[in-house]
Amino acid sequence: MTDLTGLTMAAALDGLAKKDFSSAELTAAYVTAMEKARPLNAYITETPDQALAMAKASDARRAKGESRAMDGLPLGIKDLYCTKGVQTTAGSHILGGFTPTYESTVTQKLWDAGAVMLGKLNLDEFAMGSANITSYYGTVESPWRKAGDNRPLVPGGSSGGSAAAVAAHAAIAATGTDTGGSIRQPASFTGIVGLKPTYGRCSRWGIVAFASSLDQAGPMTRSVTDAAIMMGVMAGYDAKDSTSVDIAVPDYRAALDGSVKGLRVGIPKEYRVDGMPAEIERQWQQGIAWLKEAGMEPVEVSLPHTKHALPTYYIIAPAEASSNLARYDGVRYGLRVEGDSLDKLYENTRAAGFGAEVKRRVLIGTYVLSAGYYDAYYLKAQKIRTLIADDFKKAYQQCDVILTPTSPSAAFALGEKMDDPVAMYMQDVFTVPANLAGIPGLSVPSGLSSDGLPLGLQVLGKAFDEETVLKVGRVIEKAAAFSTKPSFLAGE
């Protein structure tokens, strides 16, 4: 039999349809792979029994000719999505033992479409990080290694468990969330596809909030087609989320077949940062060349305020987080460290329950909102956010999509960049502007660094135009024909 875990979702759906294998077989292969992948620490919670039961139900549906869009496909779920009856941790000690009595809207849609849950994937604590090193449940290791160097690498973050699992074939695909690049940057580090949809496209209901005005759920897959399939299931209006937007969900997979001829690709002149490696610049030029070959027209665009995006983000995201994380107080769920007064209970619980990075951001957020500083920091950041969003609106009068590198570097080793928070924050320099502007962004693997590590290109689109983003991403995917596999594969 073929290596079932080597298949893309699209190929697996074909195989299932043709009865080449059952979901039970596919799922069993992934349960084995999930176990084999334990050294990566990609999963916090494995749910093999649930997975096999769901697979069986899927096979039964298929036997009756009632199969659905993602029927029988075994997914990993970022442990930021609340899953009914299955512990949900957000990578934090403070949610220790928390088992939701409810299911997030997006995961419910996936189960309703027939998908199978393998388990809950590791992440940076409360999705705060770019290397998956801040989780209470330990760091996640990338399945990749530099050529001739066996030091463990980070998978990127915060959806590092999702990226590592998908890249190592320990899940056919995974959900991620992206607040400042948390889907796209780990996707580029691990050689997979990651899509951050337009803000409001996917419901946030039931996903542990980090920064409410920036958080978006999205798919992490091994192909652009898979991203289109999964996106079609995850997207949609949800009356339970006041910021979700009520517009019809298009057929993303069908959109991939359209032509890109005549589309204009914007190249932002400000996206060249100091110290950016030459190979990143080369990837970018290569990407432009591929799109040109496909009939697209490159145009230079200007995003003048984009250089302020990162510090702006580091005001807005921590401010919202400081408020969103106030509910973790040891009273209604999760960790409690007793104290002889209620305030002491709060302080002890939160001191023990939050890790260093979360504390850092909660403190920053509290500070920038506090009396006397609000105008100088928070209000100022909100105004700059308007300017950044306006830059994109103007740029999109001249182009249909924008092409940039996803990340300023390839994956780095565990232990690198860890003593300087600002150096770590620089990881998100190319991804953060899309979150601030609310627009969709896709990372597609485009090639290898000189060290043999994956690099990604980012396609940004107009709000709610994921179709064009995916279509252009598919062009890059075809041209790049990226086929290198990480040194560790769980699924063979």
Q: Determine the Cα–Cα distance for residues 361 and 365; give it in Å rounded to an integer.
A: 6
Q: Determine the Cα–Cα distance for residues 123 and 44; give it in Å rounded to an integer.
A: 9
Joined together, the tokens standing for residue 179 give: 């607040």
Q: Is residue 396 near another protein by the rule CB under 8 A?
A: no
Joined together, the tokens standing for residue 293 give: 């070959």
Does 409 qualify as catalytic in the annotation? no
Q: Which of residues 441-470 bind another protein (CB under 8 A)?
A: 463
Q: Is residue 432 near another protein by the rule CB under 8 A?
A: no
Q: Which of residues 204-263 bind another protein (CB under 8 A)?
A: 204-209, 211-213, 239-243, 245-246
Contact 482, 447 (CB under 8 A): yes
Q: Is residue 381 near another protein by the rule CB under 8 A?
A: yes
In one-letter notation, the amino acid at residue 179 is T
Q: Which of residues 29-48 bind another protein (CB under 8 A)?
A: none
Q: Is residue 286 near another protein by the rule CB under 8 A?
A: no
Stretch that binds another protein, among 219-227, 295-303, 368-376, 467-475 (CB under 8 A): 368-376
Q: Is residue 314 near another protein by the rule CB under 8 A?
A: yes
* Catalytic residue from among 67, 158, 446, 449: 158
Does 78 qualify as catalytic in the annotation? yes
Q: Determine the Cα–Cα distance for residues 51 and 13; give it in Å rounded to an integer.
A: 17
Contact 92, 354 (CB under 8 A): yes
For residue 43, which of 113, 98, 122, 112 has the smallest C-alpha distance? 122
Question: Quick one: 387 or 413, whose CB is closer to another protein?
Answer: 387
Does 158 qualify as catalytic in the annotation? yes
Shortest distance in whole angstroms from residue 277 CB to another protein: 22
Of 49, 338, 481, 483, the one binding another protein by CB under 8 A: 338
H or E stretch at 221: strand 216-221
Contact 298, 262 (CB under 8 A): no
Question: Quick one: 156 or 355, whose CB is closer to another protein?
Answer: 355
Q: List, edge to edge, every strand of the sheet that includes 297-301.
A: 43-46, 116-121, 74-78, 173-178, 216-221, 193-196, 441-448, 454-461, 401-405, 264-268, 297-301
What x-and-dash track marks residues 123-162 binding another protein by CB under 8 A?
----------------------------------------
* Catalytic residue from among 22, 58, 67, 78: 78
Q: Are strands 173-178 and 297-301 parallel, antiparallel or unpaired?
A: unpaired
For residue 328, which of 92, 13, 492, 161 has the smallest C-alpha distance? 92
Contact 446, 191 (CB under 8 A): no
Cα three-residue angle 195-422-429, rounded to 5 degrees: 30
Stretch that binds another protein, among 108-116, 184-192, 307-315, 405-413 (CB under 8 A): 307-315
Of 71, 79, 320, 391, the one binding another protein by CB under 8 A: 320
Q: Which of residues 66-95 bind another protein (CB under 8 A)?
A: 81-82, 88, 90, 95
Of 326, 450, 478, 484, the one binding another protein by CB under 8 A: 326
Question: Quick one: 191 or 330, whose CB is closer to another protein?
Answer: 330
Question: Quick one: 39 or 85, whose CB is closer to another protein?
Answer: 85
Of 10, 299, 369, 418, the one binding another protein by CB under 8 A: 369
Shortest distance in whole angstroms from residue 177 CB to another protein: 11
Question: Quick one: 39 or 97, whose CB is closer to another protein?
Answer: 97
